[in-house]
């Protein structure tokens, strides 16, 4: 553990980052695969395939800097409305990638889990995700959270149902109760959200959890988003003043949950 921390200090120094202000939780909307492929006269699926390298680069950068949780928006509830060929290709790519990468993830100390309506995924995906979660369950350098068949409104509806079923009285419900019924109940809120491809919207991602998150919008299409771009987003974050409604710039490492 000590060696890992020393390496993180060295990396921060090398990139000119403040090791005290590395966000604990970074969330990414990985967008622009289709446009990246189109620019090359290729199919959208080709773009998704090339997006895997960017996932690897972000995981490595997160490990190197000491980010504790990295949430990747990989497939939204609304993405089910895409052509069935693209949906199937994305599911196949997920299974293939998990099979190929799980050992390397475990070697690096990455624990894998999901948020979302994963019961809606094909059974082959569910089985592979379960296996990958089991195989990495004891790793603790970085938690990699894949948002799959996820949307914030789906999550909130589930939370409301669970709160109602819990028998709590209306006067007993507060913001903490809601947080405790979300799929992210054991996670700190993301301090930084990155969206690639030049779109400036949230697309139904972590609406509750991002009440005070800093947003970094990058014009780069996801397959071109490498380690340097990830570091650039962290640098941008470190230049922000976070006030949480007050007047003082609050230490970036304070959890906003």
- Give the footprint of Mg ion on this chain (CB under 5 A): 31
CA angle, 37 then 42 then 48, to 5°:
45
Out of 6, 18, 53, 79, the active site residue is: 79
Site for ligand IPE in 105-144 (CB under 6 A): none
Alpha helix (H) ranges present in 16-135?
Answer: 33-39, 44-65, 84-107, 123-135
Stretch that binds ligand IPE, among 2-10, 69-77, 91-99, 168-176 (CB under 6 A): 69-77
Q: Which of residues 70-89 bind ligand IPE (CB under 6 A)?
A: 73-76, 79
Nearest distance from C-beta of residue 92 to ligand IPE, angstroms? 13
CA distances to 228, 240, 243 from 249, in Å: 27, 9, 5
Asked if 148 interacts with ligand IPE (CB under 6 A), we say no
| Nearer CB in complex with Mg ion: 82/257 | 82
DSSP-assigned letters across all residues of 152-179: HHHHHHHHHHHHHHTT--GGG--HHHHH
Q: Considering only residues 201, 243, 244, 249, which one is a binding residue for ligand IPE as defined by CB under 6 A? A: 201
- The yes or no reply on residue 31 touching ligand IPE (CB under 6 A) is yes
Residues 209-238 that bind ligand IPE (CB under 6 A): 222
Distance from the first to the final alpha carbon of the chain: 26
The question of whether 251 is a catalytic residue gets the answer: no
Nearer to Mg ion, 36 or 237 (CB): 36
Residue 176: φ, ψ to 5°: -65, -40
CA separation (Å) from 255 to 36, 52, 124, 188? 36, 30, 37, 6
CA 207 from centroid of its chain's CA atoms: 13
Shortest Å distance, C-beta 39 to Mg ion: 14
Q: Which is nearer to ligand IPE, 203 or 238 (CB)?
A: 203
Q: Measuring CA to CA, which residue among 215, 235, 232 is closest to residue 17? A: 235
Residue 214 contact, options Mg ion, ligand IPE, none, Cβ 5-8 Å cut-off depending on partner type: none
Name the residues that contact ligand IPE, by CB under 6 A: 29-35, 44, 73-76, 79, 90, 197, 199, 201, 203, 222
- Would you name the residues annotated as active-site residues? 31, 79
């Amino acid at each position: 553990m000590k060696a890992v921390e020393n390496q993180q200090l060295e990396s921060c120094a090398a990139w000119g980052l403040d090791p005290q202000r590395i966000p604990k939780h970074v969330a990414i909307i990985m967008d622009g695969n289709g446009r990246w492929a189109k620019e090359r006269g290729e199919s959208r699926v080709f773009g998704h395939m090339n997006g895997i390298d960017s996932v690897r680069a972000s995981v490595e950068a997160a490990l190197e800097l000491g980010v504790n949780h990295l949430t990747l928006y990989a497939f939204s509830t609304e993405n089910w409305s895409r052509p069935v060929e693209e949906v199937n290709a994305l599911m196949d790519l997920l299974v293939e990638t998990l099979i190929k990468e799980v050992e390397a993830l475990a070697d690096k100390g990455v624990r894998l889990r999901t948020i979302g309506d994963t019961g809606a995924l094909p059974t082959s995906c569910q089985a592979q995700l379960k296996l990958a979660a089991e195989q990495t369950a004891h790793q603790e350098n970085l938690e990699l959270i894949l948002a799959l068949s996820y949307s914030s409104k789906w999550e909130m509806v589930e939370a409301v149902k669970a709160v109602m079923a819990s028998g709590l009285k209306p006067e007993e419900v507060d913001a903490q109760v809601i947080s405790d019924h979300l799929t992210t109940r054991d996670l700190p809120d993301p301090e930084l959200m990155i969206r690639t491809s030049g779109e400036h919207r949230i697309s139904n991602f972590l609406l509750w959890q991002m009440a005070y998150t800093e947003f970094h919008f990058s014009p780069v299409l996801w397959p071109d988003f490498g380690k340097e771009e990830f570091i650039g987003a962290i640098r941008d974050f470190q230049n922000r003043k976070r006030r949480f409604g007050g007047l003082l710039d609050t230490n970036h490492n304070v959890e906003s949950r």
